Each structure stands twice: as structure tokens, then as C-alpha cells.
Amino acid sequence: MLTGRKLRTLLTGAIATLVSAGASSGAMAADPEVTLTIHHFLSPKSTTQTAMIEPWAKEIEKASEGRIAFEIFPSMSMGGKPPELYRQVRDGTADIVWTLIGYTPGVFPRSEAFELPTVHLGSAVATNLAIHDNFDLIAEDYDDIKPLLLHVHDGNALHMRDGVEDILSLDAFKGMKLRTPSRTGAWMIEALGAEPVGMPVPALPQALSKGAVDGALVPFEIFPPLKLAELTQTSVEGRQKQRFGTSVFMYAMNKERFEELPEDLQAIIEEYSGRAFAENMGKVWEAAESVGKRMQHESGGTILRLDDETTEDMATRGQGVVDKWVEEVTGKDIDGKAIIDAARAAVKKNTD
């Protein structure tokens, strides 16, 4: 049976053979010392690949003077399903992955604090920096891998298949089947009186088109690659663009693979994976929101903002989700309240 390490070695060797076969018979101009595979679940045209992974990889290739090279595998093209990405990077099947911590419930309990409603306030930049500045509070979640970036999107709006003229109460969502990206998202959906349906986001278009769900918690950023403007008619957010929580994404490297690199190459990867990276990716995801919103408008869809009273009710129910999370993790000997207090203070500091 092939181990993750052996499989990764075979994949890398196969890639190298193909490159060699396509090259001229002479020596290549600059053979890299190491080639790292990057695996993720979205398309090669997604914001994740074009605005994050590709620029990051090019910067490191340039800084290392070609000693590090990358092979990017989008759309789960190395095999498996999105919830398996964490295991793949942990075991070494892939050197680096980008995935959602919510796809592996219970594995990253401390990190969930930053995706909770009323903790994340709607700015990807503020929450990204809050995570970076308080990583020591959640570091135990990542003992078996090497995190390169933890980040969020601007937040989950609620997008529905049917057209709605106005929403005067959150009771309008009662009985609906709504897609959730995570268990904390499921708690928020339950707080609305709706039924959560967990699924990786690539499965969402089919679920919407077949009516398996009435709507979904996703950011506007995902509209272009999944063509959600064609599948939804109404999007909902709070009065001041508040969202129903967000999702924490993990860009991480196999720990053993990182540690076996020469120290100077480790330093280069570290340099391009710091606070500036977190801030820049927050700006990227915030900018991507406007594209999705424009697509919803141009398709004839509606973006509704809840009135003040309903937004306040949304926050009250969101606080109930926070309380539930604190109670649960406290039972696991995690000081949930301390993490929430630090997260809120850091988000506020980076928002002001």
C-alpha cells in the first residue's frame, strides 16, 4: 500500500518526467532543487488560484532564483474530495493545500472563533489580521501541519433561489433548506429556524438547480466561478452589510516537507507567508465581492439589506451561536471566552 509520502514522491517524479520529455535534449536552463505540489478544490479561474496561489508561487520562485518550483492542481485534480484535503497535506499526499477548516469538523476547534457571527463583522482584512495577530491562541489546532495563511472572505450572505420583495422578519427563513459551509454556519441556520444542509461549495450549483436546497450561505466572491447569479434571485445581508458569519480557510504545507527544506528556502517561504500576505488577501477577497454583487444585479436579482430591527435580531441570534460555541469548547478544556474576547478586540482594532 502506498503511503502519502510515497504517493507524493511518485506524483512529483511523474511530473518531472513529463517536463523532461517535453524539453530539448540539452540541459534545462535552471532545474529547481525542489518542486512543491499545491492542491485545492476550486477551478483554475477562481480567485483562490489566480489572485492568491499563482502570485504567491511566482514571488517565491523569483525570490529563490528558481530553486523552488510549484505545480498547481485545481479542482481536486490530484484525486479525492474537498473534505480530504486536510488529510492529504497532513499525510504528505500533497505538499500544500488550500481548504476550508469547516470541511473537517472538530479538527480546528479554536480557529472556529473567527468565523462566528458577531465576531467577524464583515471585513476580510480586519479578521485576517486578527487571526494573524492572535495565532498563539489557536496554534494547537495546527500541531501536525505548517500553516502558511489562515484567512476569511468578507462573510456569508444568504442567497435564495426564489425572488423576495422584502424581509421584515427572520422568521421568513423558517423551514427552508439552506446550504452551510461549516458546523458553525449550521448553528446560525438553525437559529433562523431553517434546516442546514452541509456540502462542499462545488456541489452547490447542482443542489440549487435541482431544488435540493432553497438557498445557501456563501460570499458574493464565489458567484463568478459557480455562476450563482443564474441560480439565485435574492441575496440578503444586514443593514450595515453584516453577514451571517464567515468561513476560515487554511493554506497549509506538509510539516515534514517544510522542515526538510534548506533553512534559507524555509526563510523565503516564511517571508512571503506573513502578516502582509494576510492583509493583501483580505483586500483581494473584499474586492472580489463587488464582482459577485454586480453579477447578481445584472442578472435581475435583488440584494436586500435587513432593516435595523431585523439586523438587531440577527445579531442576537448570532450571539446565541457564540454562546453555544463557548460552552462546547469549554467542555474540551479550551478557554473559549478568552479566545472570543481576544478575537473581538483584534477585529475591532484592525477595523478602526
Residue 302's alpha-carbon distances to 31, 174, 200, in angstroms, are 52, 20, 25
Name the band, by pLDDT with cuts 50, 70 and 90, for residue 21: very low
pLDDT > 60? residue 3: no
- Do β-strands 177-180 and 302-305 pair in parallel, antiparallel, or remain unpaired? unpaired
Mean pLDDT of the region 28-49: 89
- Distance from C-alpha of 10 to C-alpha of 33, rounded to nearest angstrom: 17
Q: Residue 15: its pLDDT value, please? A: 41
For all residues of the chain together, what is the average pLDDT?
Answer: 92
Grid coordinates given for 76 = 481536486
Q: How confident is the model at residue 11 (pLDDT cuts 50, 70, 90)?
A: very low
pLDDT at 204 over 70: yes
Provide the pLDDT confidence category of residue 30 given band limits of 50, 70 and 90.
low
pTM: 0.87
**Alpha helices for the chain (secondary structure H):** 4-22, 47, 54-63, 85-91, 124-133, 135-138, 183-191, 204-209, 223-226, 255-259, 263-271, 275-298, 308-330, 336-351
- Whether residue 181 has pLDDT greater than 60: yes
User: Would you say 119 and 347 are in contact if contact means Cβ atoms under 8 Å apart?
Assistant: yes
Per-residue model confidence as pLDDT tens digits over 154-167: 999 999 999 998 99
Cβ atoms 2, 60 nearer than 8 A? no
pLDDT digits (tens, 9 = 90+) for 303-343: 999 999 999 999 999 999 999 999 999 999 999 999 999 99
Whole-number Å distance between alpha carbons of 159 and 308: 20
Segment 126-148 shows an average pLDDT of: 98
Domains and CATH numbers, the chain: 4-8+31-153+247-286 (3.40.190.170), 157-246+290-351 (3.40.190.170)
pLDDT at position 101 = 97
Q: Is the CB of residue 340 less than 8 Å from the CB of residue 184?
A: no
pLDDT (0 to 100) of residue 352: 74
Nearest by Cα to 216 from 240, 192, 198: 198
From residue 65, how far is each of 59, 62, 78, 259 by CA, in Å?
10, 5, 27, 20
The residue among 136, 186, 107 whose CA lies nearest residue 338 is 136
